[in-house]
Structure 1
Amino acid sequence: MLLAMATITVQDVDDAGLADWRLLANGLHARFRTGDMPTGARFVAAVADAAEELDHHPDVDLRPSHVDLALVSHDVGRVTRRDLRLARRVSDIAAGLGLTAQPEVLAQLEVALDTADLAAVGPVWAALLTGDAGALDGDDVVDRRGRVPLLWFQGTDAHETPRQRFHLDVWVPHDVAQERVDAAVAAGATVVDASHAPSFVVLADPEGNRVCVCTALDR
């Protein structure tokens, strides 16, 4: 049981042979190209049967051309080996239906708020975003129903003069992060700090608004 609850890394995903899946900010993610809604519905039904068998359930988003899936063990708030087992089963189902994964298009948006007093501001934002002040999970506000992006509180020193408060974290697969940074730079962004790559790279738009391109590596 302890092994099943162990924290999962990018290397664990690679070692498990899960080429269809990528670790992002909150969970293990995959997209499978279906081409049409009936094929997607058959795929989702088969995934639901497998999830019931394994007693572990993914978040599923069925669209006309594709199906997105996210896996996380909600009882412990992170990806575990239970998620790896279900991910492998889902990939087998997809292969049996002739579906192709598209890991290169995966992304997840996280909003980051600098604060020196998480205990004071965290419950406020949890209540605003989810209607439940108790939705604060550590230093994150997590909407389990997926209605709003993740909100992460970044610890900072107290300061009189306001500095940047909010910024966006764009989580992408580790193997496309540099491509995303290069695309932003080609579009006019400036790299502010790459010293923490591949974990994250800080960029700014031409007006100085900052954003981090983040991956699950080196965390």
Structure 2
Amino acid sequence: MVKQERAARTRESLVHAAAEVFAEEGFTAASIAEISRRAGVTSGALHFHFDGKTSLALAVEERAGRALREAAAVQGERDRAGGPLRVLVGSTYTMLSLLAEDVAVRAAFALCADTTHSGRMDLRRQWRAWVEELLVGAERAGLLAEGVSPQDATDLVVALTVGLDGLGGFEADQEARQLLHRIWTVVLPGIAGGEAAAAVLVEAFVEAFDEEETD
């Protein structure tokens, strides 16, 4: 049991160290030596747990995907009563926090944009599918503005949010949240005008800052 626990801790350290290096340097520039050094293990110990960089990258992606699914479930449950647009806006604040706090998520987004690495999952594609699902739901509920299609709205939202990792230099502070709020203040009325859009903005903004104050 002790050996199993030690092995689990070592594997955890390696995945975390790999995420840090991938996020900072990219897949190609990342070295086994640097990952081993940060994890505090030898290269031989690393190879005992992983075949190499590719298997480490896959482990990082799996952890990031799990974090994204868990966050989406929490956000969806919290905003269920507010409808799909409320979930959509709230999810972008959640994504901002994940990018600030979870190095595996940052690394996974970097990896899916790296043409030298072919991963099992593409978080950007998952994010796009999540956005489109919510906007299709908003259309069915009659919440989208006249002439706006879910696909066009998805293109816009994804284009604006794939750069969330740059907000606040990965710091989920008030300044970054305020910038995200300003983005939605401009974008959301074009997707869904009227009182519904205004209510969503107010609720999401208040909740985001309430979370920041309690962190």
Specify if TM > 0.5.
Answer: no
More strand by share: 1
More helix by share: 2
Length-normalised TM-score, structure 1: 0.28
